[in-house]
Amino acid sequence: MLKSALLRTSAVLKGLLLVFACLSSVRSLEYYTEKPDFMQTCRINEPEFVKCSTSSIQKLMDQLGKGIPEIMEVIGTFDPLKLKPIQFAQDNQGAVTLHANLTEMVATGLSKLVIKESKVSKKDYSWETKIYIPKLRLEGQYKMAGRILLIPLNGAGHMFIEIEKLNILMRTKTRLYEKGGFTFYNVTKIRMDLAPGGLKTNFENIFNGNSKEVERSTNLFFNENWRDFFEALRPLVTETVETTLLDILQKVFHLIPANFFVEDIPTSEQLYAKKKEKKE
Residue 224 has pLDDT above 70, yes or no: yes
Residue of 82, 69, 81 lying closest to 36 (CA atoms): 69
CA distance linking residue 207 with residue 153, whole number of Å: 6
Q: Are 187 and 246 in contact (CB under 8 A)?
A: yes
pLDDT over 90 percentage in the chain: 64
Dihedrals φ, ψ of 113, to 5°? -60, 135
Q: Are 113 and 134 in contact (CB under 8 A)?
A: no
For residue 218, CA distances in Å to 49, 92, 152, 248 come to 49, 21, 11, 34
Residue 25 has pLDDT above 50, yes or no: no
CA distance linking residue 164 with residue 91, whole number of Å: 27
Quick one: pLDDT band at residue 27, thresholds 50, 70, 90?
very low
CA distance linking residue 200 with residue 177, whole number of Å: 42
Residue 255 has pLDDT above 60, yes or no: yes
Q: What average pLDDT does the chain have?
A: 87
Q: Can you tell me whether residue 18 is helix, strand or coil?
A: helix
Q: Going by C-beta distance under 8 Å and a sequence separation of 6 or more, which residues neighbour residue 234?
A: 194
The pLDDT, as a whole number, for residue 273 is 84
Give me the mean pLDDT over the 235-260 stretch: 92
**Domain annotation for the chain: domains and CATH numbers:** 38-279 (3.15.10.30)
The pLDDT, as a whole number, for residue 279 is 61
Q: Decide: residue 73, CB within 10 A, 0-12 exposed, 13-18 middle, 19+ buried.
A: middle
How does pLDDT run across 144-179, given as a tens digit for each residue?
Answer: 998 888 888 889 999 999 999 999 999 999 999 999
Residue 19 has pLDDT above 80, yes or no: no
Q: Which letter does DSSP use for residue 24 in this model?
A: H
Please give the single-letter amino acid code of residue 215.
E
Residue 185 has pLDDT above 90, yes or no: yes
CA distance linking residue 265 with residue 44, whole number of Å: 8
Residue 232 has pLDDT above 70, yes or no: yes
The pLDDT, as a whole number, for residue 94 is 60
The pLDDT, as a whole number, for residue 214 is 87
Positive or negative, the CA dihedral 103, 104, 109, 111 is positive
Q: Please report how the helices 212-224 and 226-255 are oriented relative to each other, as an axis angle in degrees rounded to 10.
A: 80
How does pLDDT run across 37-92, given as a tens digit for each residue?
Answer: 999 999 999 999 999 999 999 999 999 999 988 888 988 899 999 998 988 888 76
How does pLDDT run across 102-132, given as a tens digit for each residue?
Answer: 999 999 999 999 999 999 999 999 999 999 9
Q: Which letter does DSSP use for residue 46 in this model?
A: S
Residue 217 has pLDDT above 60, yes or no: yes
**pTM here?**
0.83
The pLDDT, as a whole number, for residue 10 is 54
The pLDDT, as a whole number, for residue 22 is 43
Beta strands (DSSP E) in the chain are 81-82, 86-91, 96-108, 114-120, 127-148, 151-179, 182-195, 198-203
The pLDDT, as a whole number, for residue 35 is 94
Angle at 65 between CA 63 and CA 69, to 5 degrees: 65
Residue 249 has pLDDT above 60, yes or no: yes
Chain Cα centroid distance, residue 245 = 2
Residue 212 has pLDDT above 80, yes or no: yes
The pLDDT, as a whole number, for residue 112 is 95
Residue 225 has pLDDT above 90, yes or no: yes
Residue 133 has pLDDT above 90, yes or no: yes
